[in-house]
Amino acid sequence: MTEHTSPYDTTALTKPATRLRIPQLKQMKVEGRKWAMLTAYDMYSAVIFEDAGIPVLLVGDSASNNVFGNDSTLAVTVDELLPLVRAVTRSTRRALVIADLPFGSYQVSPEQCLQTAVRFMKEAGAHAVKIEGGVELLPHIAKLSVSGIPVMAHIGFTPQMEHQLGGYRVQGRGEDGQRLIDSAKALEAAGAFALLIEMVPGDVGAAITQAVAIPTVGIGAGNQCDAQVLVWQDMAGLRQGRLPRFVKQYADLRSVLQTAARDFADDVQAGTFPGPEHTF
């Protein structure tokens, strides 16, 4: 009798459902255990990263560039991000999945922020959300927090404000560093469960990490943060062109995929694929 196997990898569905929880992240800071976070926007990347031991996945608004082909994060919408978050939560069993709230979907008011966050929790199964900004977001963070929605605040360089900030620039240099440390403390007091710190001098990343009891996740913020995050296509070498200084490329997937695609095309042109073993 022929054995019928699923064409899809369903291993994730059989894993024990022990999701990482926010208190565990806080405990890891207490114990000085660092952790890694990656972006993920689909089932395969999410399952691969979870299996590799990445405890936290971010469905970033960087999907705007890395999935939808826009030239900034500003264009992506809630309706575009929701299915990506759903794919990541549905296909993982252990990772904590954070949904990025896109530009314009939370800045208007704490109420708008809550409504958008609720959509990501209800319709996509997100476990937490992330929003970009400093003290102007204290009421938004307090609103989410009392409503039971864990929120990560993104400070330092905030890509959704690239036009106001004059492009991709390091933030918190000189005296501005203290402003960032003060906002980090205020965001913690308002209820943020973690801080993502982007593109600040290493000593500012370290000072913020010292100043707060919640975990800090750095991207271009030095190695003293409690965790580090990278966009997965940068980390794995899918992206073409000049990479930001904070990126370390751990693989060259672009070449691997190009070679595979070329080999496939060559085989088809030569008539060597499909072979007898692929033919019914």
CB 222 within 8 A of CB 230: no
51 marked as binding residue: no
Q: Are strands 35-39 and 227-230 parallel, antiparallel or unpaired?
A: parallel
Short-list 39, 115, 132, 40, CA closest to 78:
115
Residue with tokens 């204290």: 138
Q: Which two tokens stand for residue 202?
A: 């290493």
CB 94 within 8 A of CB 19: yes
277 marked as binding residue: no
Distance CA 129, CA 152 (A): 6
Interface segment toward ligand KIV; rule CB under 6 A; list 18-26, 59-67, 104-112, 255-263: 59-67
Residue 39: CB minimum distance to ligand KIV, A: 5
Residue 162 annotated among the catalytic residues of the structure: no
Under the binding rule (CB under 6 A), the answer on residue 88 touching ligand KIV is: no
Under the binding rule (CB under 6 A), the answer on residue 45 touching ligand KIV is: no
- HEC string of 122-181 equals HHHCCCEEEEECCHHHHHHHHHHHHCCCCEEEEEECCHHHHHHHCCCCCCCCCCHHHHHH
Under the binding rule (CB under 6 A), the answer on residue 39 touching ligand KIV is: yes
Interface segment toward ligand KIV; rule CB under 6 A; list 57-65, 184-192, 238-246, 251-259: 57-65
Residue 47: CB minimum distance to ligand KIV, A: 19
3 marked as binding residue: no
Q: By three-state DSSP, how is residue 97 classified?
A: strand
Among 29, 56, 62, 156, binds ligand KIV (CB under 6 A): 62
φ, ψ for residue 142 (rounded to 5)? -60, -40
Residue 60: CB minimum distance to ligand KIV, A: 2
Check 31, 175, 188, 198 and give the catalytic one: 198
71 marked as binding residue: no
Residues 130, 133, 135, 137, CA torsion sign: negative
100 marked as binding residue: yes
Half-sphere exposure of 143 (CA within 13 A, CB side): 18
- Residues 188-247 interacting with ligand KIV (rule: CB under 6 A): 198, 219, 229, 231
* Contact flags string 146-185 toward ligand KIV, x per CB under 6 A: --------x-------------------------------
Interface segment toward ligand KIV; rule CB under 6 A; list 13-21, 53-61, 262-270, 271-279: 53-61
* Interface contacts to ligand KIV, rule CB under 6 A: 39, 58, 60-62, 100, 154, 198, 219, 229, 231
User: Catalytic positions, please?
Assistant: 198
Binding residues for Mg(2+): 61, 100, 132
